[in-house]
């Protein structure tokens, strides 16, 4: 395997991908070393400028990119290097289903754990935009469509049964799944070196009832094979403007529960809401408008997904399923409580993880208010998890957020 860096990428591309013509000296920059936010990166990612545009080169090495940025006791999450080939295939499949929402992929060199894809830097990461208070037009509608279409067209409701099973076999993805199964559900990983951590978070996140429910959801995540899920769809993995989105980072892909993807993105929306309660805004009116926008995104995400999935079912599901609309309704109804429960998992982990991912909370300049925002986030996670069987609609999710906010603020004011 060739370890690529800024010095050898240009000759490498000239040999392996001659269709791309690099711009020459200085054409290569490393994501994370050029002012872009490196948080969450586990691969080594480079932007290469060419004569007619630029592309992204990703390489998986024997260590994770994160290991460069966390303390020694935080290292050790070393997934298989072949993850990049799986991501390459995943991108190709998803682009075939939802071409408007997925970057183009160009080439892969499997023995070097490398693939090349479209550079989507003409868009901005959603997390950065939302943290700046930008209300991205059509965001939740597009994410809902991306998730719904990729889920439905990879379920056994639509696919030939043997095709569905072969898809699951091809993307078992054991090494990458283990990260989520242990780090996300069990919180078995490095934690912030924060004096407030033990007092403010650990007693709640590792309470016996929370641990039991986390294990139940972990079991469902490990054993449900409903559809081909992204498994890491959050606002840093979506680039957008008011007219389009591009979804990236699909190395955790496998056949799993549809509700997990919905819940994971829901958690990203709720983190923005909790940050907005405490971070500065130019006016209280702008704070209120942004919070309303986030709640509207929650509604659109869930309701839009259910409506679109039902329409696909009615038009394109196999006859055995179209003939049983009651099963369709029951399946869609169970997505909401499951999504609420799954949302709690990244909400808890983000509060204690040393890996970062807290751009929206870092935007709060006052440390006391930042801690309040994280505590609100954690308390909403507990509410989602423990009360999820009473959360049956998007309105119930919104009510849980608003009631949780009121309860928390009444305790600190």
Q: Exposed/middle/buried for 51, CB within 10 Å: 0-12, 13-18, 19+?
A: exposed
List, for residues 42-79, the tens digit of each pLDDT value: 789 999 999 889 999 999 987 665 544 444 444 455 67
pLDDT of residue 70: 45
CATH homologous superfamily of 9-118 equals Phosphorylase Kinase; domain 1 (3.30.200.20)
Give the per-residue pLDDT at 51: 87
Q: Range with the lowest mean pLDDT among 55-64, 89-98, 158-167, 210-219?
A: 55-64
Each residue's pLDDT tens digit, 139-153: 999 999 999 999 999
Q: Which two tokens stand for residue 198?
A: 């033990």
The encoded tokens of residue 315 equal: 């038009």
| CATH class held by domain 124-412 | alpha beta
Q: What is the pLDDT of residue 247?
A: 98
Query: How much is the pLDDT for 20?
Result: 92
Cα gap 409→413, rounded to integer Å: 6
Kindly report, residue by residue over 280-313, the tens digit of the pLDDT: 999 999 999 999 999 999 999 999 999 999 999 9
Torsion of CA 149, 239, 358, 340, to 10 degrees: -20
pTM value?
0.93
Q: Which residue has the higher pLDDT, 238 or 26?
A: 238
3-state secondary structure the chain: CCCCCCCCHHHHHHHHCCCCCECCCCCEEECCCCCCCCCCCCCEEEEEEECCEEEEEEECCCCCHHHHCCCHHHCCCCCCCCHHHHHHHHHHHHHHHCHHHCCCEEEEEHHHCEEEEECCCCCEEHHHHHHCCCCCCCHHHHHHHHHHHHHHCCCCCCCCHHHHHHHHHHCCCHHHHHHHHHHHCCCCCCECCCCCHHHHCHHHHCCHHHHHHHHHHHHHHHHCCCEEECCCCCHHHEEECCCCEEECCCCCCEEECHHHHHHHHHHHHHHHHHHHHHCCCCCHHHHHHHHHHHHHHHHHHHHHHHHHHHHHHHHHCCHHHHCCHHHHHHHHHHHHHHHHHHHHHHHHHHHHECCCCCHHHHCCCCHHHHHHHHHHHHHHHHHHHHCHHHCCCHHHHHHHHHHHHHHHHHHHC
* Dihedral angle computed from the Cα positions of residues 283, 285, 287 and 291, in that order, rounded to the nearest 10 degrees: -170
What is the structure's pLDDT at 191? 67
| 178, pLDDT greater than 50 | yes
Identical fold for domains 9-118 and 124-412, yes or no, is no
Paired with 147 in beta bridges are: none
The domain segmentation of the chain, as residue ranges, is 9-118, 124-412
- Its sign, for the CA torsion 375, 364, 272, 101, is negative
Say which residue the tokens 């997925």 belong to: 102
Read off the pLDDT of each residue in 91-102 and give the average, rounded to a whole number. 97
Do residues 24 and 11 touch, judged by C-beta distance below 8 A? no
Sheet holding 105-109, edge to edge: 28-30, 44-50, 53-59, 114-118, 105-109
Query: Of 269, 260, 261, whose CA–CA distance to 235 is shortest?
Result: 269
pLDDT of the residue at 268: 97
């Amino acid at each position: 395997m060739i370890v690529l860096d800024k010095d050898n990428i240009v000759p490498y591309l000239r040999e392996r991908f001659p269709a791309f013509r690099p711009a020459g000296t200085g054409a290569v920059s490393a994501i994370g070393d050029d002012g872009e936010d490196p948080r969450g990166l586990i691969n080594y990612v480079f932007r290469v400028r060419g004569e007619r545009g630029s592309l992204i080169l990703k390489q998986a090495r024997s260590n994770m990119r994160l290991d460069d940025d966390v303390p020694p006791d935080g290292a050790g999450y070393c997934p298989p290097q072949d993850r990049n080939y799986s991501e390459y295939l995943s991108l190709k499949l998803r682009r075939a289903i939802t071409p408007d929402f997925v970057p183009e992929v160009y080439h892969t060199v499997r023995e070097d754990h490398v693939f090349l894809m479209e550079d989507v830097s003409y868009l901005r990461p959603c997390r950065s935009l939302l943290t700046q208070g930008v209300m991205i037009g059509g965001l939740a509608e597009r994410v809902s469509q991306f998730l719904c279409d990729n889920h439905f067209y990879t379920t056994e409701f639509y696919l030939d049964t043997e095709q569905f099973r072969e898809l699951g076999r091809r993307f078992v993805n054991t090494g990458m799944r283990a990260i989520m199964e242990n780090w996300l559900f069990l919180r078995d990983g490095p934690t912030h070196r924060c004096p407030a951590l033990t007092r403010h978070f650990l007693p709640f996140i590792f309470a016996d009832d929370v641990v039991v429910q986390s294990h139940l959801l972990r079991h469902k995540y490990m054993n449900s094979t409903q559809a081909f899920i992204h498994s890491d769809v959050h606002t840093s993995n979506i680039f957008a403007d008011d007219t389009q989105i591009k979804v990236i980072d699909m190395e955790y892909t496998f056949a799993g529960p549809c509700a997990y993807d919905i819940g994971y993105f829901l958690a990203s929306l709720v983190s923005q809401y909790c940050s907005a309660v405490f971070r500065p805004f130019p006016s209280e009116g702008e704070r209120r408008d942004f919070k309303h926008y986030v709640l509207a995104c929650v509604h659109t995400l869930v309701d839009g997904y259910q409506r679109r999935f039902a329409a696909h079912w009615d038009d394109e599901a196999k006859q055995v399923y179209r003939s049983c609309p009651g099963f369709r309704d029951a399946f869609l109804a169970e997505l909401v409580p499951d999504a609420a429960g799954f949302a709690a998992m990244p909400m808890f982990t983000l509060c204690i993880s040393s890996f970062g991912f807290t751009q929206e909370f870092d935007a709060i300049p006052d440390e006391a208010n930042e801690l309040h925002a994280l505590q609100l986030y954690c308390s909403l996670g507990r509410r989602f998890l423990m009360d999820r069987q009473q959360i049956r609609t998007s309105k119930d999710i919104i009510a849980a957020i608003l009631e949780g906010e009121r309860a928390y603020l009444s305790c600190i004011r």
